Chains A and B, each alone.
Chain A
Amino acid sequence: MKKNIVKYYPLIPVLAVYLIMFLIGFFMPGMWQMVALLAFYCALGQSWNIFMGMTGYVDFGYVTFIALGTYGMSLGITYFSQFEWLGMGIIVIGLILAMFLAALAALLEAAIALRLRGAYFAIACIGINEGLRYFIEGAKIWGGSEGLIFFGALTQSLGRETVNQLTTFWADFSVFVIAALAAFLNMHYMRSKIGYALTAVREDEDAAKVMGVNTTKYKTLAFLTSGLLGAAVGAMAWGLKLGHVYPGDVFVIHYTIECIVVVLLGGAGTLLGPVVGGLIYGLSKYWLAIIMPGFQLLIFAPIIIIIIVAFPEGVIGVLKQRVKRTALEKYIV
């Protein structure tokens, strides 16, 4: 039993960072916005890393899940807020719809794209993302290119005061919860059979098969987990918080790129990496936008490239090597 708890020690630094972030945001006036932004990047990085870090497959279409999560919440509120007796239940319905859409997409995408490797996989995922966006716009489902605007409906159903609390606090708070959940799942996968199977897949997929690893099953599991978590972030941080959704806003590859940068900065395949990556990325983006609005990308892009080239293992990847055979080894993974 003791041994089993020790295995989960690397969760301590991760959860500690999340707790500190939360406390800063909660108690220091004016900090909540920034802390929420950081949590958003940490949560997305952590979620994306479960699939990419463990399997080595780069899902360029990851934003599909965030977008579908946003749509799930939006549809839930749009169509169910008329039933006043549901109360807060509409948010639960939205979340369920978000999970359902993301699971459907993940299983479909897994059936189609996960047979492919390397660049073919990446391109197939982008294709599916773009296809979905144009399908929504072209077939005019879910509001087509006009999107869904449901802030009014939400207010009418739950009242101004509640909605205000939901959008300014609980939506952000739930992102913290999702980030912690993602960390826990990632840790659990790493320490179980699933982690061994996925490491084998990442290092040599054909050899893994010969060793008895049902590669499709484990890849799909990681893909699904990663997708569902991304969808949860979309549902809360975009859907519930903003009160509207447009296809042109959410099916945007730019957000996938942000996930990739967060994970690579911190260290792909590590547990603490996406947290550190999310903090570095989020903070730099936030401050650069204040110091030199408009120019941030000009400075930001080269800095990121330099860091990634200099530390391909990411900050935590490097640190992990440093703390080998020290007392910290148990905590940094």
Chain B
Amino acid sequence: MALLRLENVTKRFGGLIAVNNLSLEIQEGEAIGIVGPNGSGKTTLFNVISGVFFPEEGRVIYEGKDITRMPSYKRAPLGLGRTFQIPRPFGSASVRENVATGAMFGTLAGKVSVDDCLEIADRYIQLVGLEEHESKEALTLTPVEKKMMEIARALAMHPKLLLMDEAMAGMHPKDIDKTVAFLKKIKEEEGISIVAMVEHIMRAVVGFAERVMVIHQGKKLVDAPTKEALEDQRVVDVYFGHAAGEGNAKG
């Protein structure tokens, strides 16, 4: 059984079709990259999966259960975790409290005390390297630190499926390598399936994903093992055709 299955999902904004009849299967323990030009519908896809928006058509099946119209707050305890493209920290709370909040309301909800959650938070804060900033208010972090904190907060949820929306954008190549390394490690140790949209950062795609889905104008263009997908002529045409310079420069 697939961990997550999208069946012909369509999400419209007025006349604009942001996600167009898209189907996708994610197996337990997979590492998938999603790439596509700006505005191709990647974030919208995540929003549909995490329940921020409900799709007009199609179904979202998680662990065999139809969650298409389930409110977002009920999905986190089932194991759906995510980060946001534009970080959304709980600004006045400390980094430690932010990450602990993830632990408190994720899959461990109801099984852990506040103190347990703070301890869990410490572990992930250390993992992403924010120990020094632990007691700072989250809003005082730099953008990249905020992204690191979001990763820690999502991991503290102990998700089964982690959706990372350009979490590594803007990071130094050294930090990208470090992040990819600990994500891989944690994926193995805790059995998390990770879907990361990595867009232009080829360094992360190649380093991290076993399989890549390319979307273009809301439609799935290619879904194949990483190397194969990135060498596909259609992908080269629509995506790297106009983003080649940037892609190469950053890769």
Secondary structure class of chain A's binding surface, majority of residues: helix
| Chain A contacts with B in 203-226, Cβ cutoff 8 A | 203-204, 206-215
Provide the residues of chain B in CB contact with A197, threshold 8 Å: 101, 104-105
CB proximity of B83 to chain A, nearest CB, Å: 10
B149 to chain A, nearest CB (A): 12
Residue numbers in B under 8 Å from A160 (CB-CB): none
Are B52 and A212 in contact (CB-based, < 8 A)? no
Cβ distance A73 to chain B, nearest Cβ, rounded Å: 37
B52 touches A210 (CB 8 A): yes
Docked Cα-Cα span, A199 to B101, in Å, equals: 9
Interface residues on chain B, size class: 20 to 34
Query: Do A196 and B100 touch across chains, with their CB atoms under 8 A apart?
Result: yes
Q: A209-B72, A211-B153, A213-B105 are in contact. Are A196 and B51 (CB under 8 A)?
A: no
* Max chain A Cβ within 10 angstroms of own Cβ: one of B51, B72, B84, B92: B72
B114 CB–A CB distance under 8 Å: yes
Contact with A along B98-121 (1 / 0, CB 8 A): 001110111001000011010000
Instruction: State whether B100 touches A212 (Cβ < 8 A).
Output: no
Asked if B182 lies at the interface with its beta carbon under 8 angstroms from chain A, I say no
CB contacts (< 8 Å) of B114 on chain A: these are 191-193, 196
Contacts of B105 in A (CB 8 A): 197, 211-213
In the assembled complex, which residues on chain A have CB atoms less than 8 Å from the CB atom of B82? 210
Contact B51 A212 (CB under 8 A): no
Tell me, in angstroms, the Cα distance from A155 to B84 when the chains sit together: 64
Chain B nearest CB, measured from A58 CB (Å): 17
Residue of A203, A209, A212 near B93 (CB, 8 A) is A203
- Is the pair B71, A209 in contact by a Cβ cutoff of 8 Å? yes
A contact residues around B106 at 8 Å (CB): 211-212
Q: How far is the CB of B94 from chain A (nearest CB, A)?
A: 10
A211 to B75, CA, bound (A): 9
A3 lies within 8 A of chain B by Cβ: yes
A213 to B93, CA, bound (A): 15
Answer whether A199 and B90 are a contact pair too, CB < 8 Å, given A209-B72, A210-B50, A210-B82: yes
Report whether B92 and A199 are in contact in the complex, using a CB–CB cutoff of 8 Å. Answer: yes
A253 CA to B105 CA, complexed, in Å:
37
Given A192-B114, A196-B114, A199-B97, A211:B71 Cβ within 8 A = no
Nearest opposing residue in chain B for A199, CB measure: B93
In angstroms, how far is the closest chain A Cβ from the Cβ of B182?
A: 21
Q: Which residues of A contact B153 (CB under 8 A)?
A: 211
Contact flags (1/0) for A185-198 with B, using CB distance below 8 Å?
00000011100110
**Which of chain B's residues have a CB closer than 8 A to the CB of A193?**
104, 114
CA distance A209 to B153 in the complex (A): 14
CA distance A3 to B82 in the complex (A): 32
CA distance A202 to B105 in the complex (A): 16
| B89: A residues at CB distance < 8 A | 203-204
Across-interface contacts of A191 in B (CB, < 8 A): 114
CB distance from B195 to the nearest CB of A (A): 15
Which residues from B are CB-within-8-Å of A202? 90, 92
Query: A42 an interface residue at 8 Å Cβ cutoff?
Result: no
B50: chain A residues within 8 A (beta carbon): 210
Chain A residues close to B by CB (< 8 Å): 3, 191-193, 196-197, 199-200, 202-204, 206-215
Interface residues of B (CB under 8 A from A): 50-52, 71-77, 82, 84, 88-93, 97, 100-102, 104-106, 109, 114-115, 117, 153, 157
Task: Apart from A3-B115, A203-B93, A210-B52, list 13 A-B contacts with CB within 8 A.
Answer: A193-B114, A196-B93, A196-B104, A196-B117, A199-B97, A203-B89, A203-B90, A203-B91, A204-B88, A210-B76, A211-B106, A212-B76, A213-B73
